[in-house]
A = this chain, B = another copy of it.
Amino acid sequence: MNQKTICVYTCNRSEYSRLKSVMKAIEAQPGLALRIVVGGSQLLERYGMTVNDIENDQFVINEKIHNVVEGSTPAAMAKSAGLAIIELTTCFSRIQPDVLLVVGDRYDMLPAVVAASYLNIPIAHIQGGEKTGSIDESIRHVVTKFAHLHFPATEQSKDLIIKMDEKPHRVFVTGCPSIDTILRITPTDRKVLFETPPIPSKLGARSPSADQDYILLIQHPNTTEYDQCYDQMIATLTAIHRIRLQTLLIYPNLDAGSDSMVAAIRRFMMKYECDYLFCFKHVPMETFINLLRYASCIVGNSSSGIRESCYFGIPCVNIGTRQKNREHGSNVINTGHDSEEIYQAIKKQLEIKRYPVEYVYGDGNAGTLIADILSQSDIKIQK
């Protein structure tokens, strides 16, 4: 039988959680051959070398693309993109994929789509058609227009893709594959969770305590507002500082503005000696989901707050425009970057404690659905 070669490209820790169940399902499909190309911040020490998570899950990585030009300015991001296109061209020419499979809306994934497009390789896109507030939305819709096969997570997303003049018979609502993974993660006992790296401090210093309630804080730079990222981070930290509940903060991603957010975190901690605040470069997905499971509230602008928290009924305070229009459950309160507003929202959520569970982004079978469709589809480059 003639296998179809599906090449997955991932360059960012947030993507892998949404690709994992699909990759497992592709591997399990006899009609499909999986190729994995990893690039961008996944390969960098400074971002926790998250490529290790993929290898720890027993995947074989076919190529690693070092393309990040240092600086975390928009110009450095743009040059990284140029370099990625050059390298991925050679890489895809060698792998000769029948389909390139990508997820989401990240600027650093765009070069893979552009390279594939020049090389006449059909593109399949997971998570198209979602509406959010940040510039990621432009990229998401741009990728939709590049793509030949669409796997939106919700009916509402499907409608937008078709409205954008994509062929209806090429659009399949599958749910979001990140949910597959989440629903399959074994709950860890809370005590065990807090005793497992990377949560406890390595060096005898203070560690977060399993016995106390805690906030989960993840705030990424909004690249169109990257000169305001410092102040935005300070506003959030100031609100948290008033709450003074134990807080587990996960570092921002590689986008323009992240350097100043990291600086904001460091200076705030030094100034106020925030003994309730614990910072992590990267936590494995399993750990993250279990942290989410027991959290009193998730705060920031990560898509996890919107997409995954509803499955556990965890209260979410979603700050700023980065996720503005995203579909969400009733567990989310949206705020601006105003410290008082954030404070009030967190306070309110902490009082509510838990919301009813909702299945907004699918029921956990997205990976298998996507692999099946990939194996049966006859994709042509001419749309």
- The chain A residues found within 8 Å of chain B, CB to CB, are 43-46, 66-71, 73-79, 81-87, 89-90, 93, 107, 110-111, 114-115, 117-120, 134-135, 137-138, 141-142, 144-146, 160, 163-165, 202-203, 223-224, 259, 270, 321, 381-383
**Interchain CB contact (< 8 A) of A86 among B45, B82, B110, B142:** B82
B75 & A93 in contact (Cβ 8 Å cutoff): yes
**Interchain CB contact (< 8 A) of A107 among B67, B76, B118, B164:** B118
A83 to chain B minimum Cβ distance, whole angstroms, is 7
Question: How far is A89 from B78 in the complex, measured between Cα atoms in Å?
Answer: 6
A69 & B67 in contact (Cβ 8 Å cutoff): yes
B89 & A82 in contact (Cβ 8 Å cutoff): yes
A46 & B75 in contact (Cβ 8 Å cutoff): no
* A68, A75, A89, most chain B CB atoms within 10 A: A89
B114 & A114 in contact (Cβ 8 Å cutoff): yes
**Interchain CB contact (< 8 A) of A138 among B89, B134, B145, B163:** B145
Q: List 5 interface pairs A-B (beta carbons < 8 Å), by A numbering.
A: A66-B70, A74-B120, A75-B89, A145-B145, A224-B382
A87 & B90 in contact (Cβ 8 Å cutoff): yes
Question: How far is A137 from B146 in the complex, measured between Cα atoms in Å?
Answer: 10
| Known contacts A114-B81, A118-B81, A142-B142; A70/B44 CB under 8 A | yes
A81 CB contacts on chain B under 8 angstroms: 85, 114-115, 118
A110 & B120 in contact (Cβ 8 Å cutoff): no
Extra pairs beyond A46-B70, A81-B114 (15, CB < 8 Å): A68-B70, A74-B118, A75-B89, A75-B119, A78-B85, A78-B89, A78-B115, A78-B119, A79-B89, A82-B83, A82-B85, A82-B115, A114-B114, A120-B223, A145-B145
| Known contacts A45-B259, A224-B382; A118/B78 CB under 8 A | yes
B87 & A85 in contact (Cβ 8 Å cutoff): no
A291 to chain B minimum Cβ distance, whole angstroms, is 25
A138 & B146 in contact (Cβ 8 Å cutoff): yes
Question: How far is A46 from B46 in the complex, measured between Cα atoms in Å?
Answer: 11
For A72, the closest partner residue in chain B by CB is: B45
B69 & A66 in contact (Cβ 8 Å cutoff): yes
B142 & A146 in contact (Cβ 8 Å cutoff): yes
**Interchain CB contact (< 8 A) of A69 among B70, B160, B163:** B70
9 smallest A-B Cβ distances: which pairs? A82-B85, A78-B118, A82-B86, A78-B89, A68-B70, A142-B145, A141-B145, A164-B164, A70-B70
